[in-house]
């Protein structure tokens, strides 16, 4: 089985740890017809790539779909894919997990993907195809609420992280987790969720937004 992947270095490292029994080669657009399975881990930052995948045949394309919804992309193109395309939670820290969170737009795609990924030793859990999926939606909302708590002066970041770990048995607190995920991913996921739902739960805390914008000045 010929597997290729593209994404950020930390995402690719997680994927290699997840699929340690099979070699994974870097994705090359000129060789796309050679791949049996392609993982596009940062797809939701460049969703225009869908036009490169949608007319392929007899492939399994696994794309990161935390910030975008596959059905919306198909609607914009005005066509359905000729091959099997599924979404996956590919945010950093969520890839190398015992249960891989995925979504599909058709039961046949789910069945085909489940079987092929099982051959790689992966156990999947398919959730509804929607912006934020399930786990990223919950975790990013918790991080956002933690920022509101700090902004209001109710508690410190250290106290919140400690309280979450001791009180809920979470592996890490929301601020430590946001650093590992990347504040840019947290912000962009929340923004996508708010634009999709207009739910006040996903309205981005001003403090979080300020730190997100400040990161660009730091990079320069």
Which residue ranges form the domains of the chain, and what is each CATH number?
A: 3-127 (3.40.50.720), 135-219 (1.10.1040.50)
Q: What is the structure's pLDDT at 215?
A: 84
Q: What is the structure's pLDDT at 170?
A: 75
Mean pLDDT of 160-165: 89
Give me the sheet containing 3-6, strands edge to edge: 24-26, 3-6, 37-40, 60-64, 84-88, 99-103, 123-127
Q: How far apart are CA 135 and CA 185, in angstroms?
A: 14
- Contact (CB, 8 A) for 88 and 101: yes
> Does residue 171 have a pLDDT over 80?
no
Q: What is the structure's pLDDT at 30?
A: 82
pLDDT above 90 as % of the chain: 89
Burial label for 10, CB within 10 Å (0-12, 13-18, 19+), is middle
Q: To the nearest whole number, what is the mean pLDDT of the chain?
A: 94
Q: How far apart are CA 84 and CA 61, in angstroms?
A: 6
Alpha carbon of 146 to those of 92, 191, 198: distances in Å?
20, 16, 20
- Contact (CB, 8 A) for 104 and 113: yes
Mean pLDDT of 137-152: 96
Residue range 24-69, pLDDT digits in tens: 999 988 888 899 999 999 999 999 999 999 999 999 999 999 999 9
- Contact (CB, 8 A) for 84 and 207: no
> Does residue 163 have a pLDDT over 80?
yes
Given pLDDT bands bounded at 50, 70 and 90, which one contains residue 218? low
Partners of 127 in beta bridges: 103
CB 27: neighbour CB atoms within 10 A? 18
> Which residues have C-beta within 8 Å of that of residue 132, sequence separation ≥ 6?
66, 140, 189, 192, 193, 196
Mean pLDDT of 175-179: 94
pLDDT above 70 as % of the chain: 98
3-class state of residue 100 by DSSP: strand
């Amino acid at each position: 089985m010929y597997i290729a992947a593209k994404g950020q270095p930390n995402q690719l490292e997680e994927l290699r740890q997840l699929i340690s029994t099979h070699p994974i080669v870097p994705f090359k657009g000129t060789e796309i017809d050679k791949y049996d399975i392609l993982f596009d881990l940062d797809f939701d930052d460049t969703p225009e790539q869908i036009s490169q995948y949608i007319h392929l045949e007899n492939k399994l394309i696994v794309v990161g779909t935390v910030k975008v919804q596959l059905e919306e992309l198909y609607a914009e193109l005005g066509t359905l894919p000729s091959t099997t395309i599924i979404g996956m939670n590919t945010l950093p820290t969520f890839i190398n997990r015992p249960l891989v969170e995925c979504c599909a737009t058709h039961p046949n795609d789910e069945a085909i993907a489940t079987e092929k990924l099982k051959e790689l030793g992966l156990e999947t859990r398919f959730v509804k195809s929607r912006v934020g999926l399930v786990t990223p939606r919950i975790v990013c909302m918790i991080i956002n609420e933690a920022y509101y708590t700090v902004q209001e002066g109710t508690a410190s970041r250290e106290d919140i992280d400690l309280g979450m770990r001791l009180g809920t048995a979470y592996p890490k607190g929301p601020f430590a987790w946001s650093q590992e995920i990347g504040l840019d991913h947290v912000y962009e996921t929340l923004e996508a969720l708010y634009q999709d739902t207009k739910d006040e739960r996903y309205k981005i805390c001003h403090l979080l937004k300020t730190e997100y914008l400040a990161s660009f000045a730091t990079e320069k």
